[in-house]
Amino acid sequence: MSPSQRQADPSPGQTSPPSRRSVLRGAAGVGAAGFVAAVGVGAAAGPALAAGNSRAAAQSDTARPATGQPDTAAGPLVVYLRDAASGELDVFAGTSHAVIRDHELAARLTSAVRPSAKRG
């Protein structure tokens, strides 16, 4: 339990966007509709983080002040794609929230959960 979870939202720039590979890995394992992907953060970290984000613009949640530690070191990561056309993805980890814009990733996520796609 964190003493003050509501204050743990990161400041802009504190949270790194996830890799497309990690997001897709999660998406393939989630059969539910709604373009929600969930993976373990431990699996998402690593070399893939640096690769493939050149077109991703990241913006962290600034709704609340950042006085606590961003709780992203453990636990699941959830990606929510509300509207594939916008390419805007909400990324949730720990008590943090980042918004990234990546049309290519959005397209691949959408493709991953089409009925014809193989599901995990």
Q: Interface with another protein by CB under 8 A: which residues?
A: 1-9, 30, 32, 36, 38, 61, 63-65, 67, 75-78, 80, 90, 92-97
Please, what is the minimum distance in Å from the beta carbon of residue 27 to another protein?
12
> Which of residues 87 and 94 has its CB atom nearest to another protein in the complex?
94
Which DSSP string corresponds to 28-48? HH---SSSEEEEEHHHH-SGG
From CA 9, how far away is CA 70, in angstroms rounded?
A: 6
Please, what is the minimum distance in Å from the beta carbon of residue 53 to another protein?
20
> Which of residues 55 and 84 has its CB atom nearest to another protein in the complex?
84
Question: Which among 17, 3, 4 is positioned nearest to 72, based on CA atoms?
Answer: 17
Please, what is the minimum distance in Å from the beta carbon of residue 9 to another protein?
5
> Which of residues 51 and 62 has its CB atom nearest to another protein in the complex?
62
Please, what is the minimum distance in Å from the beta carbon of residue 28 to another protein?
13
From CA 5, how far away is CA 110, in angstroms rounded?
A: 32
Cα angle 93, 97, 102 (rounded to 5 degrees) comes to 100
